[in-house]
């Protein structure tokens, strides 16, 4: 029946994955519109249960994966390439980095770059630390870097590395289900594997929709500040519709013409904004603070990485750390596949070092400039940013820029950056979801990519209308749990495959329990053809 529906609609997909994912998303929207309060309450209760009973699992999983990736890069497996042994990277390091960042957390940094440090500075989460003190300022920067530094990029790097390895070295389909081939064997290409891909698609849809929702809130605040545009649900839906249309145009152009050019443009604009704030703000304070923040972050990291608020029954970690981890985990399939797509030819060591360190360095600079400058504004009484953050965190960056010369120009530049980050997140996610829902031998149809771009916009609008920021946080904290479990299985599968690879065995031999010496193993070409044929047959 699904194949018949696919033919009538003129689609090129794996019917079970495409229609299951689309159907669940449509049912969610249909139910959320008339029953928005009930749905918001249900997800609120579910989030509370997850935080109370499984918060430790999120914390342990992400920190454990960070240790795993670093150990892998430093091990004998670090020289294995994502591709044939003689392959080389498709993109230069600079282009690679700009695409990494734009597909990752650009929108998030724009939203929280001022809001989070100011929030922790004015409301310290640790007992015995006074608001507005030197210790509060130090802790605020440390927590911001903890939330957006190595741990965040660990969540992106894990699926990215695994997908790149299996896709480019063993020619398996670039889908999440392929990562479980060493564990599931042939079942990875049947209903069990399709279920994994559906989970990945839904996580991507809701994860990116959350980012779009936050970006819309901030964009509405910026336009309200600049042009007096009302800040309400109607305007936010209109903004989502407009940006989704731009994203659909970009996604129709493809990766190189659309996403790459937008990514490079946006990084340039972001650097321009950083430079303006650094030069117009307290430059020496920023430089000193960044140096100290590096030391504070590295010193506190081993403790923070396993901190679970065991002896303090507050709701802080649920609202901040667990929300961030769940949010990042939920859209890890999309960012992971996108990173893998642009990382062919790199060694595992290069990949881990680049994906963990380069964006973390940029994050340090971003929070160093915006976070430290905002704390300085708050300390000197130039503006009551803490009150602004408490009332509406989406307006924090504009209230902050209002203390600078050329405030309107800087705010307008911020709006442009948010729009482009908004667009690159949506269009790159649409490309990835399309890859997850079709076979490698099927063409990527523009209408399918546009459908997924539109789905993200509709879900984002639905979540905003159902409860704004609280609804976004509750839904994503709950839905991130299934993929957190998948990340752990992913690490196990990757290690098993790398161990076999290093000893000269193919993934097929590993699955079938064979142990042929390397000299007797089939050639790379014959293995790759075998993988492709198996995948086509099973799909």
Task: Quick: pLDDT tens for 14-62.
Answer: 999 999 999 998 998 888 777 777 777 777 787 778 878 888 999 999 9
Average pLDDT, stretch 343-356?
Answer: 94
Of 222 and 286, the one with more pLDDT: 286
Burial of 134 (0-12, 13-18, 19+ CB in 10 A): exposed
Beta-bridged to residue 336, according to DSSP, are none
Residue 469 is predicted with a pLDDT of 58
For residues 74 and 348, is the Cβ–Cβ distance under 8 A?
Answer: no
Task: Quick: pLDDT tens for 256-277.
Answer: 555 667 667 777 888 899 999 9
- Domain ranges, ordered by start, for the chain: 2-538
Q: Which two tokens stand for residue 178?
A: 């392929």
Residue 517 is predicted with a pLDDT of 37
Summary mean pLDDT of the chain: 83
pLDDT at 524 over 80: no
C-alpha distances in Å from residue 169, one per residue of 87, 346, 518: 10, 11, 16
Average pLDDT, stretch 280-295?
Answer: 94
Residue 256 is predicted with a pLDDT of 53
Q: 2-538: what fold? A: Amino acid/polyamine transporter I (1.20.1740)
* CB hemisphere CA count around 19 (13 angstroms): 13
pLDDT at 325 over 60: yes
Q: What is the pTM of this model?
A: 0.84
Helices (H), ranges, 33-92: 36-74
Residue 21 is predicted with a pLDDT of 93
Q: Is 16 helix (H, G, I), strand (E, B) or coil?
A: helix
Q: Which two tokens stand for residue 32?
A: 């959320």
Residue among 94, 101, 70, 92 at smallest CA distance from 364: 101
Task: Quick: pLDDT tens for 154-207.
Answer: 999 999 999 999 999 988 888 889 888 888 888 888 899 999 899 889 888 887
Task: Quick: pLDDT tens for 382-412.
Answer: 888 999 888 888 888 999 999 999 988 998 8
**pLDDT above 70: percentage of residues in the chain:** 88
Collect all residues with Cβ–Cβ distance below 8 Å to 276 and sequence separation of at least 6.
Answer: 404, 406, 410, 413
How far, rounded to the nearest angstrom, does the alpha carbon of residue 451 sit from its chain's CA centroid? Answer: 21
pLDDT at 105 over 70: no
DSSP letter string over 166-198? Answer: HHHHH---SSGGGGGHHHHGGGGGSHHHHHHHH
Helices (H), ranges, 281-406: 283-304, 316-317, 323-330, 332-341, 348-366, 372-380, 385-391, 396-401
Task: Quick: pLDDT tens for 502-515.
Answer: 887 777 776 766 53
Residue 539 is predicted with a pLDDT of 43
pLDDT at 446 over 80: yes
Phi and psi dihedrals of 81, rounded to 5? -95, 155
C-alpha distances in Å from residue 100, one per residue of 8, 97, 218, 229, 334: 37, 5, 22, 33, 12
How far, rounded to the nearest angstrom, does the alpha carbon of residue 489 sit from its chain's CA centroid? Answer: 19
For residues 438 and 14, is the Cβ–Cβ distance under 8 A?
Answer: yes
Q: Which of 57-61, 132-136, 148-152, 334-338 shows the lowest per-residue confidence on average (mean pLDDT)?
A: 334-338
Phi and psi dihedrals of 172, rounded to 5? -85, 160
Q: Could you tell me the pLDDT band of residue 487, with boundaries at 50, 70 and 90?
A: very high
DSSP letter string over 464-499? Answer: HHHHHHHHHHHHHHHHHHHHHHHHHHHHHHHHHHHH
Residue 282 is predicted with a pLDDT of 93
For residues 120 and 143, is the Cβ–Cβ distance under 8 A?
Answer: yes
Residue 533 is predicted with a pLDDT of 41
pLDDT at 138 over 70: yes
């Amino acid at each position: 029946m699904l194949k018949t529906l696919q033919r009538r609609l003129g689609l090129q997909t794996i019917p079970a994955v495409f229609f299951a994912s689309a159907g669940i998303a449509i049912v969610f929207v249909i139910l959320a519109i008339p029953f928005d309060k009930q749905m918001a309450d249900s997800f609120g209760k579910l989030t509370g249960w997850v935080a109370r009973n499984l918060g430790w699992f999120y914390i342990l999983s992400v920190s454990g994966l960070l240790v795993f990736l670093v150990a892998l890069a430093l091990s004998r497996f670090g020289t294995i390439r994502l591709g044939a042994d003689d392959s080389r990277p498709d993109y230069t390091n600079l282009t690679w980095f700009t695409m990494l960042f734009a597909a990752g957390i650009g929108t998030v940094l724009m939203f929280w770059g001022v809001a989070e440090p100011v929030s922790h500075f004015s409301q310290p989460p640790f007992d015995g630390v006074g608001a507005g003190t030197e210790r509060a300022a130090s802790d605020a920067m440390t927590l911001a870097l903890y939330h957006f530094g190595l741990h965040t990029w660990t969540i992106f790097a894990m699926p990215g590395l695994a997908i790149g390895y299996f896709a480019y070295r063993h020619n398996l389909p670039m889908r999440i289900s392929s990562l479980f081939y060493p564990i599931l064997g042939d079942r990875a290409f049947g209903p069990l594997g399709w279920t994994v891909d559906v989970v990945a698609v839904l996580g991507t849809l809701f994860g990116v929709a959350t980012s779009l929702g936050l970006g819309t809130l901030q964009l509405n605040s910026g336009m309200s500040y600049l042009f007096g545009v009302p800040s309400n649900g109607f305007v936010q839906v209109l903004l989502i519709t407009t940006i989704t249309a731009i994203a659909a145009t970009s996604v129709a152009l493809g990766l190189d013409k659309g996403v790459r050019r937008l990514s490079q443009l946006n990084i340039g604009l972001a650097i321009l904004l950083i430079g303006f704030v650094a030069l117009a703000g307290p430059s020496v304070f920023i430089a000193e603070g960044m140096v100290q923040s590096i030391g504070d972050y590295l010193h506190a990291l081993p403790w923070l990485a396993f901190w679970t608020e065991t002896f303090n029954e507050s709701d802080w970690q649920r609202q901040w750390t667990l929300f961030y981890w769940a949010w990042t985990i939920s859209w890890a399939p999309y960012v992971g596949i996108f990173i893998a797509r642009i990382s062919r030819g790199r060694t595992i060591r290069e990949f881990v070092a680049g994906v963990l360190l380069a964006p973390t360095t940029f994050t340090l600079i971003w929070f160093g400039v915006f976070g430290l400058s905002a704390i300085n504004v708050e300390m000197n009484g130039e503006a009551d940013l803490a009150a602004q953050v408490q009332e509406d965190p989406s307006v924090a960056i504009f209230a902050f820029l209002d203390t600078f010369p050329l405030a309107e120009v800087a705010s307008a530049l911020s709006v442009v950056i948010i729009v482009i980050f908004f667009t690159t997140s949506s269009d790159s996610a649409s490309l990835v979801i399309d890859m997850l829902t079709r076979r490698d031998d099927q063409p990527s149809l523009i209408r399918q990519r546009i459908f997924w771009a539109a789905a993200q916009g509709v879900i984002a609008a639905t979540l905003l209308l159902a409860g704004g920021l609280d609804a976004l946080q509750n839904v994503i904290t709950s839905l991130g749990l299934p993929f957190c479990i998948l990340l752990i299985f992913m690490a196990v599968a990757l290690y098993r495959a790398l161990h076999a690879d290093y000893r000269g065995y193919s993934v097929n031999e590993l699955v079938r329990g064979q142990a042929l010496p390397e000299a007797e193993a089939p050639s790379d070409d014959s293995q790759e053809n075998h993988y492709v044929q198996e995948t086509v047959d099973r799909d």
